[in-house]
Chain A
Amino acid sequence: MADSIHLSGIIDLTPEDKHPRLWLEVMHEWIVTTDHKKIGLMYIAASMMFLVIGGIEVLLMRIQLAVPESTFLAPEQYNQLFTLHGTTMIFFVAMTIEFGFANYMVPLMIGARDMAFPRLNAFSFWIYLFGASLLYYSILGGKGVYGGSGIPDVGWFAYAPLTEKAFSAGNGSDYWALAIFISGIGSIGTALNIIVTTICMRCKGMKLSRMPLFAWLMLVTSVMVVAAIPPLSAAQIMLLIDRYLGGHFFDAQAGGSAVIWAHFFWIFGHPEVYILVMPAFGFMNEIVPVFSRKVIFGYPAMVAASVGIAFISFTVWAHHMFTVGMEPVANTVFVISTMTIAIPTGIKIFNWLATIWGGKIRFTVPMLFCIAFLFQFTLAGLTGIMLGVAPFDWQLHNSAFVVAHFHYVIVGGILFALFGAFYYWFPKMTGRMMSRTLGKWHFWLFVLGFHLTFDFMHIPGLLGMPREVYTYEPGHHWEIWNMIVTIGAFVQAVAIIIFVYNLVRSQFTGKLAGNDPWDAWTLEWATTSPPPNYNFASEPMVRSRRPLWDLKHPEDPDWKYEFDAENEMATK
């Protein structure tokens, strides 16, 4: 056992300088930092801020839709709100909050001292924040000379030719295109950084086949980001050329094509869904085994399924376009690719089930969120299959059912996993535990609110209610369902308030966590909470996927069972 794991020496015990500092000094430190942990926290904090903004937007929309023929909002205001809500939640909350966790956790998990390119990391964060702020500057900024809307009001997928100068006279579409284009530069920067970090910066002994699954999922996600964002950026530049330089890419009356925009957008847009959900899978892969007290079932299959999903996700985009008048053969191709993606996704669900099977489940708050994820994500996947059945989609497309479906994915799946990640890693990030009581209140209220909102939102869709409508006539029996949905939205808001309160309070008065409060197995738990600058005093060395398990169970280490050439040599 000469080459067993050296973990004892990796904790840096140098006491931190505790003298009181000026507020300005602290600010300066955060602004100029290139530390992956600080940047990660800033990503998370900024995304949380936008989450609250996007949440307030949706509450206003839900008040408007609670009763038919409501005049609470003007039509333009409603259209602006859903555009801001969608754009904010996708580009400035979901994507970036996951980048935040990746920034913080990936180097720790792979035993690195920082990301590969710390300055690029800082640049990516600040350019994202600038882009996101630009979108909201549209509220203060000029309306444009034609009295059109200064705030984007074209929907988050901004179908041309509605965004062309003729139909969108104000500056709204410009803000929309530029804000996302600029923050997209940040996304690509962070993605490149994560790719290089996971490929080049792993500690001794951590082969790709021993990398924690969250790091794997972030690697796959980042490759997808690098491939998916450029088509969107290109389309946005083409749109701006149309709007300002007399181009006709999407101007159908001058020979351009409206369908081309849809293709460009969804070639980005569908991989984007998986860009959002893959990190959530990563959270699940870390949290579920720890609280089931079992190793993840079928690690190689999980990696293969993730890579498979990433590839297939680039072939399914036109299932958002079954109604644009494609030929039956084209529709058929996209039906089969869409259904195929259910297979690797199914493998993941079953592998989590098998991980839980035979375990000893600890119902901690992170685990509660992960269990809810399993049920909700399964259902979201199945409504996805319904939408993949093209003729069924001809009915469901652009209805409230679709809105319910993708919120089931994004809230019921991704956000639940994110909450799990918050409760799981908060002790590592701050050194303090989050309140379990408040966490349970948060969980149960959020579950209640989520199901009130999104279960019942499917029904008006089945009864013919389209999406993106600022009001509706009575008499279609959409009223009762919309009222329930609105009530659910407010229950969720209460749960979020509890969550934010819990975050703030635990930061100051939470129970001290220690290095490893969950009795977990990956490298981030081998260092102090919060980790010191540069994470590890000396480079750790690992022999398996769960280095801390090996340390805690020297009699029965993982590397005995993870067969690869090196371990086989060792056991001989």
Chain B
Amino acid sequence: MKRFALQSLRGSAQSLLGVRSGEFRVHEFYTSLLRALGKFGSNLFNKLFVSPTNIFDPRSAPAHEIFRLSMFTLIVTGAIFITVSGLLLYAIIRYRQRPGEDADQEPPQIYGSNQIELAWTVIPILIVVVLFLSTVRVIFSIQHAAEPRQALDVQVIGHRFWWEFHYPKYGVVTANELHVPVSSDPKSPLPTYLQLATADVDHSFWVPRLTGKTDLMAGQVNNMWIQPEVAGLYLGQCSQFCGAEHARMLLRVYAESPEDFQKWIAQQQRNAVDDPDASAGRAVFEQNVCINCHLVKGTVANGRFGPDLTHLMSRDTIASGTMPNTRDNLEKWIKNPDAYKPGCLMPSMQLSDQDVNRIVSYLVTLR
């Protein structure tokens, strides 16, 4: 009996322990479930809202200012919406006609009230004044920002359907991929001032995380500035309809440390590489009308209608961000640009496969 009792005691203790460890496991299960849910939630959030072009994820001084004003506006308008729709909802539920009521009995007729109407005129006026003042402050602080001496100037020229960038101080010309220095020290900011012009129709320069957009208007020069604080690649695109390939007029802004930026400038200032191995391709290139539109510094190719190809291979993409800059893609692109960017202005030159191959062999030497 005694032994049995001991055994059962041990058994119950074990079961007790078992339960306890079970509870422990349950607890663990819940925490891991919560963790998984949290992970799922953040994954979902990342999947839904995190974007390389999110306007609410600023990385540049003017974008930060716009972001703060935007949040303030959202809070004000959100509060107005909740108040008004709350009142509406209440009125609709509270004052619905109920089944038992006498349908013929009309409710009291109220023709108006000067006091109430005055109140809901004055309160919105006060809100408008507050919103207006905070808006004006940001307009002036961005549009009237004095250009510091050390700022970089870049001329941006919009074309159908690509971007041309001039660095007048350095004598550098490039296309579609803008390189600017990072401004990491708040005490001596290093902004980039862009002078925007267009060669044909209106375009608009928009890289959401750097600042709001400014249009490139035919017949005038517009100005904007950016000041990225973190190195990295910032995406954007043309946001003023400009014709068939408006959708594939993409923008890439590379923010680099000042040292990397100077290295890039030095590299871009050099004449084109003259690789004797590619002379056959160069000959085909220079004997065709390619040179009417494209420029390769130090050669006879001095066209201005298309992107500068002097340092083509220093760029990550071709056709204004349409595809990665690989040998394969260059070949496909030259054979038939219309297949990848229908409506673009570069024609297919109807070259033989051999000639295309030669040209590409030449182009890939243009580092």
User: Cα distance A204–B221 when bound, in Å?
Assistant: 61
User: Cα distance A294–B111 when bound, in Å?
Assistant: 9
- Chain A 302-355 interface residues, beta-carbon cutoff 8 Å to B: 323-325, 327-328, 331-332, 335-336, 339-340, 342-343, 346-347, 349-351, 353-354
A325 touches B97 (CB 8 A): no
User: Cα distance A471–B247 when bound, in Å?
Assistant: 6
With A161-B201, A331-B139 known as contacts, the answer to whether A462 contacts B55 (CB < 8 A) is: yes
A326's nearest neighbour on chain B, judged by CB, is B143
Most buried by A among B69, B74, B131: B131
Q: Which of A182-190, A379-387, A503-511 contacts B (4 or more CB under 8 A)?
A: A379-387
User: Cα distance A161–B240 when bound, in Å?
Assistant: 12
Instruction: List the B side residues contacting A357 at CB < 8 Å.
Output: 91, 95
- Chain A 354-374 interface residues, beta-carbon cutoff 8 Å to B: 354, 356-363, 371, 374
User: Cα distance A355–B32 when bound, in Å?
Assistant: 54
Question: Of A75, A162, A166, A477, which contacts B49 at CB under 8 A?
Answer: A477
Instruction: List the A side residues contacting B174 at CB < 8 Å.
Output: none
B110 touches A353 (CB 8 A): no
Instruction: List the B side residues contacting A340 at CB < 8 Å.
Output: 128
Q: Which of B101-109, B269-277, B279-287 contacts A (4 or more CB under 8 A)?
A: B101-109
User: Cα distance A396–B92 when bound, in Å?
Assistant: 34
B124 touches A394 (CB 8 A): no
B134's nearest neighbour on chain A, judged by CB, is A389
B91 touches A391 (CB 8 A): no
User: Cα distance A512–B154 when bound, in Å?
Assistant: 73
Min distance, Cβ A170 to any Cβ of chain B, angstroms: 12
Is A253's CB within 8 Å of the partner chain B? yes
Min distance, Cβ B83 to any Cβ of chain A, angstroms: 10
Could you mark each residue 64-103 of chain B with 1 if its beta carbon is under 8 Å from any beta carbon of chain A, else 0? 0110011001100100110011011001100111000100
A257 touches B219 (CB 8 A): yes
Interface residues on A, range: 35 or more
Instruction: List the A side residues contacting B116 at CB < 8 Å.
Output: 354
With A343-B121, A371-B92 known as contacts, the answer to whether A386 contacts B77 (CB < 8 A) is: yes
Instruction: List the A side residues contacting B80 at CB < 8 Å.
Output: 382
Is B56's CB within 8 Å of the partner chain A? yes
B112 touches A299 (CB 8 A): yes
With A162-B201, A395-B66, A471-B247 known as contacts, the answer to whether A386 contacts B73 (CB < 8 A) is: yes
Is B215's CB within 8 Å of the partner chain A? yes
Min distance, Cβ A304 to any Cβ of chain B, angstroms: 10
Min distance, Cβ B203 to any Cβ of chain A, angstroms: 10
With A79-B244, A258-B218, A339-B132 known as contacts, the answer to whether A382 contacts B54 (CB < 8 A) is: no
B131's nearest neighbour on chain A, judged by CB, is A339
Could you mark each residue 250-284 of chain A with 1 if its beta carbon is under 8 Å from any beta carbon of chain B, else 0? 00110111110000000000000000000000000
Question: Of B51, B53, B223, which contacts A325 at CB under 8 A?
Answer: B223
B219 touches A346 (CB 8 A): no
B107 touches A462 (CB 8 A): no
- Chain B 141-163 interface residues, beta-carbon cutoff 8 Å to A: 142-144, 160
- Chain B 227-256 interface residues, beta-carbon cutoff 8 Å to A: 235-248, 250
A300 touches B121 (CB 8 A): no
A394's nearest neighbour on chain B, judged by CB, is B212
Instruction: List the A side residues contacting B132 at CB < 8 Å.
Output: 335-336, 339
With A353-B88, A464-B54 known as contacts, the answer to whether A252 contacts B219 (CB < 8 A) is: yes
Instruction: List the A side residues contacting B222 at CB < 8 Å.
Output: 324-325
Is B183's CB within 8 Å of the partner chain A? no
Instruction: List the B side residues contacting A259 at CB < 8 Å.
Output: 217, 219-220
Min distance, Cβ B231 to any Cβ of chain A, angstroms: 20
B117 touches A298 (CB 8 A): yes
Is A466's CB within 8 Å of the partner chain B? yes
A395 touches B55 (CB 8 A): yes
User: Cα distance A374–B52 when bound, in Å?
Assistant: 36
- Chain A 395-410 interface residues, beta-carbon cutoff 8 Å to B: 395-399
With A155-B241, A343-B128, A397-B239 known as contacts, the answer to whether A470 contacts B106 (CB < 8 A) is: no
Min distance, Cβ B48 to any Cβ of chain A, angstroms: 6
Min distance, Cβ B27 to any Cβ of chain A, angstroms: 35
Question: Of B51, B136, B202, which contacts A464 at CB under 8 A?
Answer: B51
Instruction: List the A side residues contacting B244 at CB < 8 Å.
Output: 75-76, 79, 153
Is B204's CB within 8 Å of the partner chain A? yes
Min distance, Cβ A266 to any Cβ of chain B, angstroms: 14
Instruction: List the B side residues contacting A393 at CB < 8 Å.
Output: 212
Is A435's CB within 8 Å of the partner chain B? no
B58's nearest neighbour on chain A, judged by CB, is A395
Instruction: List the A side residues contacting B218 at CB < 8 Å.
Output: 160-161, 252-253, 258
A350's nearest neighbour on chain B, judged by CB, is B120
A358 touches B107 (CB 8 A): yes
Is B208's CB within 8 Å of the partner chain A? yes
Is A489's CB within 8 Å of the partner chain B? no
Question: Of A159, A327, A466, which contacts B237 at CB under 8 A?
Answer: A466
Is B200's CB within 8 Å of the partner chain A? yes
Is B140's CB within 8 Å of the partner chain A? yes
Min distance, Cβ A460 to any Cβ of chain B, angstroms: 9
Min distance, Cβ B69 to any Cβ of chain A, angstroms: 5
If A331-B143, A360-B106 are given as contacts, then 16 extra A-B residue pairs at C-beta distance below 8 Å, sorted by A number, are: A79-B243, A252-B220, A299-B112, A301-B112, A335-B136, A383-B77, A386-B70, A389-B69, A389-B131, A391-B65, A391-B70, A391-B142, A462-B55, A464-B55, A472-B247, A476-B51
Shortest beta-carbon contacts, A-B, top 9: A394-B212, A464-B53, A252-B219, A252-B218, A325-B222, A469-B247, A298-B112, A466-B239, A258-B218
Give me 13 A-to-B residue pairs in the complex whose CB atoms sit less than 8 angstroms apart, sorted by A's number. Answer: A162-B242, A252-B219, A253-B218, A294-B109, A297-B112, A360-B101, A371-B88, A389-B73, A398-B213, A462-B56, A469-B246, A477-B51, A480-B48
| Interfacial residues, chain A to chain B (CB-CB below 8 A) | 74-76, 79, 153-155, 159-162, 166-167, 252-253, 255-259, 292-295, 297-301, 323-325, 327-328, 331-332, 335-336, 339-340, 342-343, 346-347, 349-351, 353-354, 356-363, 371, 374-375, 378-379, 382-383, 385-386, 389-399, 459, 462-473, 475-478, 480, 553, 556, 558, 561-562
| Interfacial residues, chain B to chain A (CB-CB below 8 A) | 47-56, 65-66, 69-70, 73-74, 77, 80-81, 84-85, 87-88, 91-92, 95-97, 101, 106-113, 116-117, 120-121, 124-125, 128, 131-132, 135-136, 138-140, 142-144, 160, 196, 200-202, 204, 206, 208, 211-215, 217-220, 222-223, 235-248, 250, 342-343
